[in-house]
Amino acid sequence: MGVEGIGARVVRKEDKRFITGKGRYVDDIKLTGMTHAYFIRSPHAHAKVKGIDSSAALKMPGVVAVLTGKQLVDDKVGNLICGWAITSKDGSPMKMGAWPAMAPETVRFVGQAVAVVIAESKNLARDAAEAVVVDYEELPAVADMHAAIKTGAPQLHPEAPGNQVYDWVIGDEGAVNAAFSKAANVVKLDVTNNRLAPNAMEPRAAIADYDAAEEHFTLYTTSQNPHVARLVLSAFYNIAPEHKLRVIAPDVGGGFGSKIFIYPEEMVALWASKKVGRPVKWTGDRTEAFLTDAHGRDHITHAEMAFDANNKIIGLRVKTYANFGAYMSLFSSSVPTYLYATLLSGQYNIPAIHAEVIGVYTNTTPVDAYRGAGRPEASYLIERLMETAARQLNVDPAQLRRTNFITQFPHQTPVIMAYDTGDFNASLDAAMKAIDYAGFPARKAQAKSQGKLRGIGVSCYIEACGIAPSKAVGSLGAGVGLWESAEVRVNPVGTIEILTGSHSHGQGHETTFCQLVADRLGVPISQVSIVHGDTDKVQFGMGTYGSRSAAVGLTAILKAMEKVESKAKKIAAHALEASEADIVIENGEFKVTGTDKAIAFPMVALAAYTAHNLPEGMEPGLKESAFYDPTNFTFPAGAYICELEVDPGTGKTSFINFVAADDFGRLINPMIVEGQVHGGLAQGIGQALLEHAIYDANGQPVTASFMDYAMPRADDLPSFNLSHTTTLCPGNPLGIKGCGEAGAIGASAAVINAITDAIGKNNLEMPATPDRVWRTIHAA
């Protein structure tokens, strides 16, 4: 692998810039003549906007303009779209309520923008915003899903009677009914998957710069996928044609899904920049992040699992209510359907599965993909069910899983997915060994003698990652393809620029992508740079989410590299007067195999550009591109086991050990992989113990600051004990599966399974706050 090649623990190239405060985020960018936007947001969860009086504000110092939702509609700026069409079981399309970027008539969640003040400074804009008088007529609101679908509930959208977005089904209901009718045992469980606020460290921001002479827009924004942003903004929002819009996503401080979507603020900034004729900057604050960044999860599910007399699962029946908030965000529709129900087979051989998912509108912030997106909800459900079943059937939870593991691959599940490879027993073995599973009963007894309740919980997750292939997602309703692109530019001196359609906002692409090049060409990673995040520099690409950048994005780079190498070999062979087939690449040199004849890579590059002596008919230059579209998803999987203690006096949970044995296929940089797992585990544990975005019955957010919303901190977490078992992914040449979401997908169930084991009661909702655990312990 070499010291910097694939598999090496190379220190991140980008960290020098981040650690020394030299990162360049959107808010760091200042343009000449730049104005500042402050949005006026609804304090009501549901209200009619009867009028907006900005006359006093317009007279205030430094105010450039006050723009309203009505002007936006008058200018024919398009409503926000949802990019994945879902069809209900009765054949009807999902019911989309119109979502204008600023509400001209009706607001449907607290924080929805109704107008924007543009001023010389952010503070002046905010001063003026306080002078804008919005006349609201409050309407009854509904925040709770079950309340929203009752007859007589306040209705959000005329397009969606009963506040229902869709009623979607997957699987064979007849086969499931047949399985249940002959079941030896049936296990039932109700679970809530709590709503989360993503809270990337960097709040969202946008700077729009309209050039009237060129009729050209530049948008700097906090995006995980700048090309998709440009496509959506131009194709649907009628703001700028695609060739007249440059989208730049510079350093981005975390996304976790929340920066996939194109939000109203970017649309308004672009539109406003043209209207006022000056650049417009908006930087959200933490309160705005809580109110307007798409939330995650928020499911209520009833599930039943049927077992035969040998404890083999014979059927699974699931009914889920998914809260979409007030509007359908960009990819929201796919999250509780194709990203959730298709993973309900977990790691198990389940011959019959049927799931029904009912999407519901409520007067809350829109919900969309958040780290794991649908897969954490599926994994949590299945792993809670397995633990519940083990308790009910009185078998060891690890053994019950083994009894049902899929061991033959490829494996076609009854819910679309075809698992390509895996070794679930190997991961579980590794995790059980790491935590000394066999020694647990003795440790539990020891803890008991000290007044502590000790528990252990297993979670065996599987996820579908490397989100792609285009043909498959297209057939399921996706409005976009999910391939990735790359261009490899070799400069005349032999340094290399990689232009990638992936986008790094914490993942370390500037290091790992270079490692591939180092591995293949033997050049040091300092000679390679990664270019991403600018639609003027980089060819169209799909961006980063769904743990896809290594499996899809890096493979695209590999494909382009292969083309570069092939041409370079021809040039080398010509220079060395050898046959192309005899050229091998070793330590940065192109060699004639079995001889000492060699030419250094930079000389090959130079030859390509001087073009003095190229093979007959060859074009000068050394630059190749590739688009890569895989044939299947990848299937990272693993086993997490958590051991913890509960203090019966306070209900407080303390971790004893947390082991994670993951199978991510090939690892490019194990250190970066561990970092990804640590972060994912923190978010999974955060969901299990701490985090919950809560609304009161009237749709007022209760947790809109860090003083109320409990983000996990270092001292809330154990020291993680990580290991890897490996089956290479057969779907891509590098054998990569992806690691970005696993921790968030697998961790929550391990924690709740462990707490419920400790306290001896199976039903416990997330987050398992000390109060909730204490009440569960002491409930009759």
Partner 1 sequence: MYQTTYHRASSVDEAASLFAKSSEAKFLAGGQTLLPVMKQRLAGPSDVIDVAKIKDMIGVEASGDTLTIKAATPHYDVATSDAAKKAIPALAYLASLIGDPAVRYRGTIGGSIANNDPAADYPAALLALDATVKTNKRSIAAADFFKGLFTTALEDGEIITAVSFPVPAKAGYSKMPHPASRFALAGVFVAQTKSGEVRVAATGASQNGVMRVPAIEAALKTNWSPAAIDSVSIPASGLLADIHGSAEYRANLVKVMAQRAVAAAG
The answer to whether 541 touches 534, Cβ cutoff 8 Å, is no
Q: Shortest approach of partner 1 to residue 56 CB, angstroms?
A: 17
Using the contact rule CB under 8 A, the part of the chain among 12-20, 332-340, 473-481, 646-654 near partner 1 is: 646-654
Judged by CB under 8 A, the residue of 566, 708, 760, 761 near partner 1 is: 708
**Taking a C-beta distance cutoff of 8 angstroms, is the pair 482, 542 a contact?**
yes
- Of 36 and 95, the one with the shorter C-beta distance to partner 1 is 36
- The site map against partner 1 for 264-293 (x = CB under 8 A) is -----------------------x------
Of 140, 441, 474, 649, which lies in the binding site for partner 1, with binding defined by CB under 8 A?
649
Instruction: Choose which of 17, 126, 216, 678 interacts with partner 1 (CB under 8 A).
Output: 126
Closest residue by Cα to residue 662 from 715, 723, 586: 723
Q: Cα separation of 257 and 331, whole Å?
A: 10
Angle (CA) 761 765 770, round 5°: 80
Among 702, 760, 761, 763, binds partner 1 (CB under 8 A): 702
Residue 598 structure tokens: 């060699």
Residue 130 C-beta: closest distance to partner 1, Å: 8
Among 444, 692, 724, 737, binds partner 1 (CB under 8 A): 692
Interface with partner 1, residue 717, by CB under 8 A: no
Helix or strand or coil: residue 242? helix
Is residue 122 a contact point for partner 1 (CB under 8 A)?
Answer: no
* Closer residue to partner 1 (CB): 217 or 709: 709
**φ, ψ (nearest 5 deg) of residue 272:** -70, -35
Please list, residue by residue across 582-619, b when 16 or more beta carbons sit within 10 angstroms of its beta carbon and e when fewer do.
bbebeebbbbbeeeebbbbbbbbbbbbeeeeebeeeee
Stretch that binds partner 1, among 432-440, 536-544, 576-584, 765-773 (CB under 8 A): 765-773
* Closer residue to partner 1 (CB): 321 or 695: 695
Which residue, 343 or 758, is less far from partner 1 as judged by CB? 758
Asked if 201 interacts with partner 1 (CB under 8 A), we say no
Say how many C-beta atoms besides its own lie within 10 A of residue 83's C-beta.
22
Give the closest residue to 189 by CA, choosing from 317, 12, 79.
Answer: 317
Q: Which two tokens stand for residue 701?
A: 């957010």
> Cβ of residue 751: shortest distance to partner 1, in angstroms?
14
Residue 318, judged by CB atoms within 10 A of its CB (0-12, 13-18, 19+), counts as buried
**155 in Cβ contact with 163 (< 8 Å):** yes
Is residue 258 within 8 A of residue 290, CB to CB? The reply is: no
Choose one: 193-201, 246-254, 535-543, 766-774; the region binding partner 1 (CB under 8 A). Answer: 766-774
CB distance 729 to 74 below 8 Å: no
To the nearest whole angstrom, how small is the minimum distance from the Cβ of residue 258 to partner 1?
Answer: 20
Query: What gap in Å lies between CA 47 and CA 137, rounded to an integer?
Result: 5
CB-nearer residue toward partner 1: 154 or 770:
770
Does 706 bind partner 1 (CB under 8 A)? Our answer is yes
Least distance in angstroms from the C-beta of 760 to partner 1:
19
Interacting span for partner 1 (CB under 8 A) from 13-21, 404-412, 700-708, 725-733:
700-708
The DSSP annotation for 420-444 comes to ----HHHHHHHHHHHHTGGGHHHHH
Helix (H, G, I), strand (E, B) or coil at 68: strand
Instruction: Figure out which of the listed residues 56, 418, 710, 717 binds partner 1, where binding follows CB under 8 A.
Output: 710
Q: Does 769 engage in binding with partner 1 (CB under 8 A)?
A: yes
Instruction: Determine, following the binding rule CB under 8 A, whether residue 774 of this chain makes contact with partner 1.
Output: yes
Smallest distance from the beta carbon of 41 to partner 1, in angstroms? Answer: 14
Residue 714: other Cβ atoms inside 10 A: 6
Residue placing its CB nearer to partner 1 in the complex, 93 or 649: 649
Q: What are phi and psi of 169, to 5 degrees?
A: -130, 155
72-82: b (≥16 Cβ within 10 Å) or e: bbeeebbbbbb
Q: How far apart are the C-alpha atoms of 225 and 208, rounded to whole Å?
A: 17
Per-residue contact flags (x/-) with partner 1 for residues 68 to 107, judged by CB under 8 A? ----------------------------------------
Is 401 a binding residue for partner 1 by CB under 8 A? The answer is no
**Is 650 a residue that touches partner 1 (CB under 8 A)?**
yes
Specify the DSSP class assigned to residue 307.
E
DSSP state, residue 500: E
- Binding part of the chain for partner 1, among 36-44, 97-105, 632-640, 686-694 by CB under 8 A, reads 686-694
| Closest alpha carbon to 504 in 29, 15, 6, 19 | 15
Q: How far is the CB of 249 from partner 1 (least distance, A)?
A: 28
Which range, of 261-269, 327-335, 485-493, 705-713, touches partner 1 by CB under 8 A? 705-713
* Choice from 177, 185, 529, 703 touching partner 1 (CB under 8 A): 703
Rule CB under 8 A: is residue 707 a binding residue for partner 1? yes
With CB under 8 A as the contact rule, the residue among 55, 123, 566, 654 that binds partner 1 is 123
Give the shortest CB-125-to-partner 1 separation in angstroms. 13
Question: How far is the CA of 393 from the CAs of 182, 309, 400, 607, in angstroms?
Answer: 17, 10, 9, 72
Query: Which among 105, 188, 108 has a CA at the least distance from the CA of 148?
Result: 108
Q: How many residues bind partner 1 (CB under 8 A)?
A: 27
Residue 467 touching partner 1 (CB under 8 A): no
Q: Is 452 in the site for partner 1 (CB under 8 A)?
A: no
Q: Which of 426, 531, 694, 728 binds partner 1 (CB under 8 A)?
A: 694
Task: Give contact residues for partner 1 (rule: CB under 8 A).
Answer: 123, 126-127, 130, 287, 649-652, 689-690, 692, 694, 702-703, 706-711, 713, 769-771, 774-775
